[in-house]
Structure 1
Amino acid sequence: MSLQSAQQFVFGFFQNRPIQFEQVQEKLSSDGGLLAFSQLDQKLRWTETFTHLISDPRSDPQHTALSIVRQRIFGIIAGYEDQNDHDSLRSDPIFKLIAEQSPDDDDLASQPTISRLENTVTAGNLLQMEDWFIDRFVESFEREPTEITLDIDTFDDPAHGNQQLVLFHGFYNQYQYQVRAITCAENDMIVLPSLLFGSAHASLGAADDLQRVIEKIRKRFPRVMIHVRADSGFAVPHMYETLERCDKVLYSIGYQMNSRVKRESDELLQQSVAAFQATGEGQRNFLLIDYQARTWSQSRSIVIKCEVNSQGTNRRAVVTNRPGANVCPGGVYEEYSDRGESENRNKELKCELCCDRLSDHRYMANLFRVMMHSLAANLLVRLRAIAEIKPTMEEPGCDEIPLEAQRPSVKRRHHTRRRRRDPLGKGHACTWRTHVIKVACRVVFSTRRVRVQISSSWPWANHLRRVAEALAGYRPSLLPTD
């Protein structure tokens, strides 16, 4: 029974009569569209195989680990960021259907039960879950890709308690964790999530994580070319050396501007300033230098961008081993700049899927939370791809020049048009919640069928129908094994 079932409240008046709201014990839900994600999960068996990795010590639990994990993951997708929300959601008929229970069955797990399961996860479980994420990523390609682009980045998670390994970080000026994610630019999936202690350097263990991912990719796709992109937080010798030892791996990694790199590019910057003053048009020029830092075992190529516009001057540098850098350094830098889209994936994971809600005391429980938030993100990414309206050759931006080679302004206009034409295919979590998930419904359960009734005036019914039709025809190319 819901704890809020007896609440009543009043909003205004209608023809001198009060408008009274009350919560009733009927099979009603505000998240009817969440069943689309449940159907996708049934086809992929992601939550099932993920949960098998948990060493559940309970001998005769009232709530299975699978039903608890599904509660939490689908709650995250629907925008319920706190475990406390499940003290009410445990009575929700849609969440019961997702947990493979009848709406008339007993309520699902409460917040303390969910928290206890999180705290049973062991270090061995988490290592297996890391492999699970990489395997699901490799299996996501229906055919062998010609190239795969891996982006790695971190974001901060401010802490407000006394959690294990929460430490003060001078750059962020706060006590925190750091969440690090390897993502794929081709399909937006989170390849490998991890959790660093608060004051850790962003590059801690990053090269080893990338090597694990690359080895698994190479085992499945021996001919694929792999690109790695990262910001200057990962510009350390061990990263370069690890990636250079790997076969068919190219990298573009940001590099901090130091006095020598500035001296090398001073002439180009002055030329750019003079051209801007003469024409009034923004200038964006590039330079390639051969550079060896004291801590490097060999020299490497650095592309330097010198940009001048009405807002001032801007210089950026990128370390790379891309063979085309000596021919087209600007193209190498632009390709590196495209990693900004991966930052949007991290922003979506942190802000829209609330991966910064790591309030358990134990570090391993919080890492398990990161895993569940990342799984929720990947379900959204996969359903987004299934429901996407494929572009046609007549669509603006699909001319003789590939989109990847266009100017940043052209790329932005193209993506804006795509989002307007196809709000689901490129939609963030908030768009999916508004257009698909958040629909009030009544669940009617009988021996023959389960009917989910929604309002005939709901404006986004065509979007939910489109998703249902896309899911009906979807067949995973390869099912995961237990």
Structure 2
Amino acid sequence: MSLQSAQQFVLGFWDNKPIEFEQVEENLSSDGGLIAFYQLDQKLGWTKSLANLISDPRSDPTHTALSIVRQRIFGIIAGYEDQNDHDSLRSDPVFKLIAEQSPDGDDLASQPTISRLENSVTAGDLLKMEDWFIDRFVESFTEEPNELTLDIDTFDDPAHGNQQLVLFHGFYNQYQYQVRAITCAENDMIVLPSLLFGSAHASLGAADDLARVIEKIRQRFPHVTIHVRADSGFAVPEMYDTLERLDGVLYSIGYQMNARVKRESSELLQQSVAAFESSGESQRNFLLLDYRAKGWPRSRSIVVKCEVQSQGTNRRAVVTNRPGVSVCPGGVYDEYADRGESENRNKELKCELCCDRLSDHRYMANLFRVMMHSVAANLLVRIRQIVERVPEIDEFANAEIPLEAQSPGVKRRHHTRRRRRDPLGEGHACTWRTHVIKVACRVIVRTRRVRVQFSSSWPWANHLGRVADLLSGYARPDLNSA
């Protein structure tokens, strides 16, 4: 039974009759399509294996760790990022089904119970969860890929309480945490999430995290080429040294424009300005520097982009060990710039799946929250891959030229048309909520089946039907045969 008291209120009139709203104690839910994500999780076994890593200190719990983890992860997917939401959702029949309980049975865990479990997670549990994330990423490939691109980046989480390790960051001008994620450009998965204290440098421990991930990948795929991309916040000697020590690892890392780089690229910038003034056309030129900073054991390649357009000039630099940089520095820079797509994954994680909702007092509880939000993001990624409709390459662009090598404008048009043609495969969390998850339904339990009934006038029924058909035919890859 819901902890909320039943409400009744009037909103407007029809045919001179008041329209009354009333809450009823029936097996009704507003999130019927969420069962599709539960079906995927059943095949992947993610929430079960994650919950098994928690050293639950409760001697005889009424609500298992698995039940609570599922409440939280599936609640995040549906847009309920706060623990308090579950004081109402604990009575929801769909959430009960996901927790493998009868819709007519007892209610699920309340907010205090959920909070106690989150705060009971230990440092040892979290270390095992980090390995769990890397393992789930590695096993997502059924055959050895030729190359993998790992992007690493951070985003801020403003804090409004006295959480442990919340500190003031001068750049963001706020008290905060920093969430850092390693993501994969080939399949959009979050490979390894982490949580930094508020004033930490973005690169703190980043080289070690990347080394752990790369070593795990190498154990399964010894011949894959790995490319690491990061912005200038990760341009530190430890990062270069670590990546160069690992065999077969390429990197492209943003480099801060200092006085020396500006001086050595000033001539190219002036030439670009002159060409723009004479032709009126935007200019975009590149310079390759053999550069050795103080403290570097040897020189490294730096690509400098000098861009001039109607809005002004723009210079950017990238330090890289890509072998083709001397032949095509512009291509190496553009490949680095494509890491902007990984920032969209972080945007989804922060803004749509609310990974900045870290309001527990204990740091380790908040790191556990980051991991649950990241599992929700990866479930969304996997279900998108299952239902996506891959367009023909010549549908949007010149078939003779790979999409990656075409102009930024062509790439933008390609992605825009993909989203229009395939709203689920290209859809953000908000799209999945409106087109699949958020459908009012009645749950009826029979002896032989469970019926989930929804309105015949729901406009997105074909989307849910398509997802159900594709999920029913989806089988988790046989990892032993890969």
TM over 0.5: yes
8 Å CA contact 1:188–1:342 kept in 2: the answer is yes
Trace 1:158-197 onto structure 2 (pairs within 5 A): 158-197=158-197
1:41 aligns to 2:33 (yes or no): no
SS in 1 for 2:32: coil
Q: For 1:177 and 1:318, how far apart are their aligned partners in 2?
A: 27
Q: Distance in 1 between matches of 2:42 and 2:445?
A: 20
Aligned to 2:250: 250
Unaligned runs of 5+ in 1: none
Q: CA deviation at 1:478?
A: 3.8
Aligned to 1:437: 437
Amino acid corresponding to residue 103 of structure 2 in structure 1: P
Q: How does 1:64-75 map to 2 (within 5 A)?
A: 64-75=64-75
Q: Does 1:114 align with 2:114?
A: yes
Deviations 1:270-323 (A, max 9, x none): 111011111111111111001111021111000000000000000000000001
The answer for the alignment partner of 2:19 in structure 1 is 19
1:231 aligns with 2:231: yes
- Residue in 2 that maps onto 1:387: 387
SS at match of 2:84: helix
Q: CA deviation at 1:417?
A: 0.4
Secondary structure, aligned partner of 1:199: coil
How far is 1:479 from its partner? 6.3
Following the alignment from structure 2 to structure 1, what is the Cα–Cα distance between the partners of residues 394 and 328? 29
CA RMSD, aligned part only? 0.9
Which residue is 1:360 aligned to?
A: 360
Q: Kindly tell me: are residues 434 and 78 of structure 1, through their superposed partners in 2, closer, same or farther at Cα, counting changes over 3 Å? A: same
8 Å Cα contact 1:189/1:378 also seen in 2: yes
Q: CA deviation at 1:15?
A: 1.1
How far 1:247 sits from its partner (Å)?
0.8
Counterpart code for 2:13? F
Amino acid at match of 1:411: K
Match of 2:126 in 1: 126
CA distance in 2, matches of 1:56, 1:398: 56
What SS class does the counterpart of residue 155 from structure 1 fall into?
Answer: strand
Q: Name 1:60's counterpart in structure 2.
A: 60
CA change 1:462–1:96 in 2 (3 A) is: same
Distance 1:8 1:264 in 2: 73
1:315-374 CA distance string (max 9 Å, x none): 000000001000000000000000000000000000000000000000000000000000
Q: Is 1:211 the counterpart of 2:229 in the alignment?
A: no
TM-score (norm 2): 0.99
Q: Distance in 1 between matches of 2:295 and 2:175?
A: 31
**Displacement of 1:434 after TM fit?**
0.5
Contact 2:142 2:479 in 1 (8 A): no
- Give the counterpart letter for 2:389 in structure 1: I
Identity of aligned residues (%): 83
- Distance in 2 between residues matched to 1:8 and 1:354, nearest whole Å: 31
Give the residue type in structure 2 aligned to 1:32.
G
**Is the Cα–Cα contact under 8 Å of residues 396 and 413 in structure 2 kept in the other structure?**
no
Q: Using the alignment, how far apart are the partners of 1:296 and 1:305 within structure 2?
A: 22
Q: Residues 364-413 of structure 1, C-alpha deviation per residue, up to 9 Å, x if partnerless? A: 00000000000000000000000101222442226110000011111000
Distance 2:473 2:6 in 1: 43
Matched with 1:103 is 103
- Which residue of structure 2 lines up, in the alignment, with residue 448 of structure 1? 448
Secondary structure in 2 matching 1:375: helix
Q: Which runs of 4+ in 1 moved over 6 A?
A: none
What's the TM-score, normalizing by structure 1? 0.99
Cα distance in structure 2, aligned partners of 1:318 and 1:345: 22
State how far apart, in whole Å, the 2-side matches of 1:196 and 1:65 are. 26
Contact 2:157 2:178 in 1 (8 A): yes
Structure 2: which amino acid aligns with 1:442? R
Q: Distance between the aligned counterparts of 2:410 and 2:115, measured in 1?
A: 47
The corresponding residue for 1:370 is: 370
* Structure 2 residue ranges without an equivalent (≥5): none
Q: Which amino acid aligns with 1:328?
A: C
Change (3 A) 1:456 1:59: same
Compared CA separation, residues 393 and 294, structure 1 to 2 (3 A): closer
Kept after mapping to 2: 8 A contact 1:139/1:478:
no
State the Cα distance separating 1:49 from its structure 2 match: 0.3
Cα deviation code 1:221-246 (max 9, x no counterpart): 01100000000000000000000001
| Contact 1:29–1:441 under 8 Å retained in 2 | yes
Does the 8 Å CA contact 1:86/1:111 hold for their aligned counterparts? yes
Question: Amino acid of the residue matched to residue 319 of structure 2?
Answer: V
Structure 2 Cα separation of the partners of residues 391 and 375 of structure 1:
28
Q: Quick one: which amino acid aligns to residue 88 of structure 2? A: S
Which secondary structure does the structure 2 equivalent of 1:411 belong to? Answer: helix
Q: Which amino acid aligns with 2:212?
A: R
Q: Amino acid of the residue matched to residue 342 of structure 1?
A: S
Aligned residue for 1:160, secondary structure, equals coil
Q: Secondary structure at the match of 2:116?
A: helix
Deviation at 1:8, TM superposition (A): 1.4
Deviations along 1:440-468, one digit per CA (max 9) or x if unpaired, are 10001011100000110000011001111
- Checking the alignment, whether the CA contact within 8 Å between 1:4 and 1:23 is kept in structure 2 is no
Tell me what 2:422 maps to.
422
The residue type paired with residue 223 of structure 1 is H
